[in-house]
Amino acid sequence: MTDFDDALDFKSLEKELATAVAKDEKYQRENDAKFRAIHQKVQSYEEFRDIVEASHLKPLDREDKLGGMSYQKWNALSTNKTGQSEVGHSNSDKLEDIKQPKTSQDFQRTWKQQCQTQHDKSSYLFSISAETLNKCFAVEYPMGEILLCIGSCDINSNASQILTVLDVMGKAKRFWLLLDFLSTKEQKQLVEIFVTLKTHFEQDDTKHVEKLNLLTEKYNVT
């Protein structure tokens, strides 16, 4: 080994290079997030900051786990040990005994652990008052899961409740961030929901139509 080689600390150089690359990646990621936030026309600095600060996050795939717990797949067909389909196995009787949630954690705990089917989820969602939903959805909520749930129910029969839920979701602090992280399937479902609601409210009173138009613009549905 030469004197030149001895003078070099390759491990130190490797560490410095890795640090420099990480800093550059962070800068590029946050810079892209800033442009995205500006393009979305965020309504406050807080929303702008949240998007930039969360730029390192990636949407969870359906197979991903968080905190060691596996989240329910949004494939309506689930197979038990005997190979029989569990779709339609409702937990509705137990849902009647569930109290109104007080926090986002309360809502998500019931949503994920006690609502076994899409029907259970929609029944639970529509049973919660707008005032309570505002509290539970103040910061964040499972927007994509809720949209898929709404899309699985009879939209015309629940049009007013759905309009209320969409209105509440649109007021959340991280609404723009959640909207930006929707999967292609969830975005498509969002459009289908608005199309159905528009048809339903076409001959309805002006109040519903005006709110729907405002929400259509807010959700950037074209």
- The predicted-structure confidence for 157-200, as pLDDT tens digits, reads as follows 999 999 999 999 999 998 999 999 999 999 999 999 999 999 99
Are the C-beta atoms of residues 152 and 158 closer than 8 Å to each other?
no
Give dist(CA 220, CA 98) in Å, integer: 35
Whether the pLDDT of residue 117 is over 90: the answer is: yes
When pLDDT is averaged across residues 63-79 and rounded to a whole number, the result is 40
Helix (H) or strand (E) holding 65: strand 65-66
Q: Any idea what the Cα angle at residue 156 is, between residues 155 and 160, rounded to 5°?
A: 85
Place 23 in a pLDDT band, splitting at 50, 70 and 90.
confident
Mean pLDDT over 113-140 rounds to: 93
Alpha-helical segments (H) within the chain: 3-7, 10-39, 45-53, 92-95, 104-113, 118-127, 130-136, 143-152, 159-169, 175-180, 184-201, 206-218
| Per-residue pLDDT, 195 | 95
Looking up tokens 């026309």 gives 41
pTM (two decimals)? 0.59
Q: If you average pLDDT over residues 97-126, what whole number do you get? A: 90
Closest CA to 105 of 151, 71, 73, 141: 141
Least confident of 1-10, 54-63, 74-83, 133-142: 74-83
Task: Please report, for the chain, the start and end positions of each structural domain, with discontinuous segments joined by +.
Answer: 10-57, 90-222
Q: What is the model's pLDDT at position 21?
A: 76
Please give the pLDDT value at position 49. Answer: 65
User: Which amino acid is present at 57?
Assistant: L
